[in-house]
Amino acid sequence: MTATVVGVALAVAYVVTVGMTVGLRPGHVRPLYEGFTPPSTYHWVDPPHIFAAANQKPTITHAIVKLGPTGSVATGVSTDDAQLVLGLAAGAVPRHGSDTSVAVTITPLAPSSVPALPSPFRASGNVYEVAMAYQPSQVAVTRLSGAGASMVLVIPEVGRHLYLNATTHGSWTPVTAHVVPPTDLTLGATINQTGGYVGATTLPPLAFSHGSSSSVALLSVGAGVLAVLVIGGGVLLSRRRRRRAT
């Protein structure tokens, strides 16, 4: 009986917490920031306040891809946290003079550091600037050839759109993308140029202000009090039934 009561109490506390969160969010939309038990923790450049305490900022990724007789060799480049993975097809970067390799740099950026996405979209997670340069000439690679590269991008909120900003300071261009199973938090796409890439969502942002944790505290306290009340009530009810039975 006690185990059942505890289970019910936790379930009720969860539902009430979600309900309170919905009430605090504009449009009363259920939040989809990875849920309460995400399979992995998203690494934000500039995290929402409610995730700031435990956040681990992503780092810049550097990789060297060799150039063969027909261009770059087929290879994969991934960020340390695997939030962005590039699969370069053979010959995706064409040969260039006497250069022998290509330097690939993936830099995570805060959405606030680049132009805003066109309405009604907003960034879902970090912007990733994908840059390539021939070595040793240092000539920038702007376009990919042949099959280009496949991109897998992890996002913290549900969204089905991907955008490219060729200079990370210009305008955004939509990129055809698809959701990668088994979750709705991974996008896949074929890309043919370098630049800044970001997943996009139409969900309204969380209502909590960046500088205040009062709403978060209210949710935590409310859920905790409710859980204690439900568990305590269940235990008392169980004891009364046992006394009557004896």
Query: pTM of this prediction?
Result: 0.70
Residue ranges of domains in the chain: 2-31+207-245, 49-201
CA distance 134 to 94: 10
Query: Which CATH entry fits the domain spanning 49-201: 2.60.220.50, 1.10.1740.10, 1.10.10.10, 3.40.50.1820?
Result: 2.60.220.50
Distances 203 to 23, 94, 221 between C-alpha atoms, Å: 15, 40, 26
DSSP string over 9-64? HHHHHHHHHHHHHHHHSGGGPPP-SS-SS-SS----SS--GGGTTT------EEEE
Angle between helices 2-24 and 214-245 (to 10 degrees): 150
CB of 121 closer than 8 Å to CB of 201: yes
pLDDT by position in tens, the chain (length 246): 455 544 544 544 444 444 444 444 444 344 444 444 444 799 999 999 999 999 999 999 999 999 999 999 999 999 999 999 999 999 999 999 999 999 999 999 999 999 999 999 999 999 999 999 999 999 999 999 998 999 999 999 999 999 999 988 889 999 999 999 888 899 999 999 999 999 999 998 764 434 433 344 444 444 454 444 545 555 555 566 666 666
Indicate the DSSP class of residue 68: E
